[in-house]
Structure formats: structure tokens, C-alpha cells
Amino acid sequence: MLLVLEGQGELMEDDSNSNTLSGTPVTHASPHETVFVNTGPVLPVQKNAAAQVIGWFVVVYGILQILGGLLGATDFGMTDWEGNPISTPLSYKVSVVLFSLMAAGLFAFGGYRMTLYEKRGIWIVFGGLALGYIGNIISSLLMGDAQGEGMELVNVGASGICGLIGVGVCGVIVAIPLMLSDGGME
């Protein structure tokens, strides 16, 4: 629609419908998307038996640790360097029993969890190894000079170094299921 303004003499188009669009819509065909769904049978992964075997060995070790801890409450077999029987302090006996029982509980529980293919079991066993190592050093400190004059530092050093080697070897053995590509640990 055209309007003529007075006095101007010009023609202008009407802007009253400026909010509407005009034209022919173009439709594009959207490509069909294909979704693939696996409808085949689910094949279970064969789990490696190493976790179960090592787990049961750890459980048995935990049980033996309980017996060793209870034996540590006695002075059975304790001698000095010359072979004379000695009497150990009560604090040593208490620490040996407590640390042995706590570590043994972690070994038995963690080993059982390993037999169920749970990674948590391996970490629990690692905690038991660390607790046993620290407990062994503390117990050696509490023994004092019961084995002879100046033997406290020798006992602590020997238990620290030998214990570190033992914990390292046991830790590698326990970690075998983690290192296997088909271990099946969850």
C-alpha cells in the first residue's frame, strides 16, 4: 500500500506490517540417524584365578598371623645373643599382640575381598602390610635392651630394613592381580 504525504509529493511504502516475514519456506530433508543397538549375547569375561589363589593365601596368612601374635604374648623362644632365655617387657608383649591382631584382621578381610575380585581387597591388604611394618618397628623399640646392652638400635634397624624388604616382596605378590590384563578385578 502506498501513501502520499501532504506537501511532499513523495510515495512511501507502509511499514505497518514490518514484523511479518513474507516468502516461501524452504524445507530441507533431514538425514535419518541410525542408532546401533547390540542385540547379540553378552559374553562374560573369563576372570583370572590369580586373584582367588592369592586371596586365599592372604587369608591363611592372616590366620597364621593371629597365632603368631598370640605366641608373641609369651617369652617362648626369646633369647639373647648368647642363647640365654630373656624376659621381654609387658609393653612389648601388648604391642606385638595388638599390632598382630589388627594386621591379621586386615589380611583376612582383604584376602576374602580379593577372592571376590574386588580391588578394595588389595588395598586393604596393603594397609595390613603397612600396619604390620609399623607395628614391628614400634615393638622393636619397646623391647629395649632386653637382648643385651645396646641392642635396641640394632633390633630397630634390622626390623626396619628386613621388614621393608619383606613388605616390598609381599606387596608385589599381592599386586599381581592388578598387573594382569585379564585379572578381572572390579
Confidence of residue 14 (pLDDT cuts 50, 70, 90): low
* pLDDT higher than 80, residue 162: yes
Segment 86-102 shows an average pLDDT of 91
Closest CA to 111 of 47, 168, 64, 162: 64
Segment 121-131 shows an average pLDDT of 96
Listed as own residue / partner, the contacts of 83-89 with beta carbons closer than 8 Å and 24 or more positions apart are 86/146, 86/147, 87/146, 88/143, 88/146, 89/142, 89/143, 89/144, 89/146
Residue ranges per domain, the chain?
Answer: 50-179
The whole-angstrom separation of Cα 97 and Cα 50 is 31
The predicted pLDDT at position 3 comes to 47
Q: With a threshold of 0.75, does the pTM exceed it?
A: no
For the ranges 23-27, 106-110, 165-169, the lowest mean pLDDT is seen at 23-27
74-88: per-residue pLDDT in tens?
Answer: 888 888 778 888 888
42-58: per-residue pLDDT in tens?
Answer: 666 677 788 899 999 99
The percentage of the chain sitting over the pLDDT mark of 90, rounded to a whole number, equals 40
139-151: per-residue pLDDT in tens?
Answer: 988 887 777 677 7
The whole-angstrom separation of Cα 88 and Cα 144 is 9
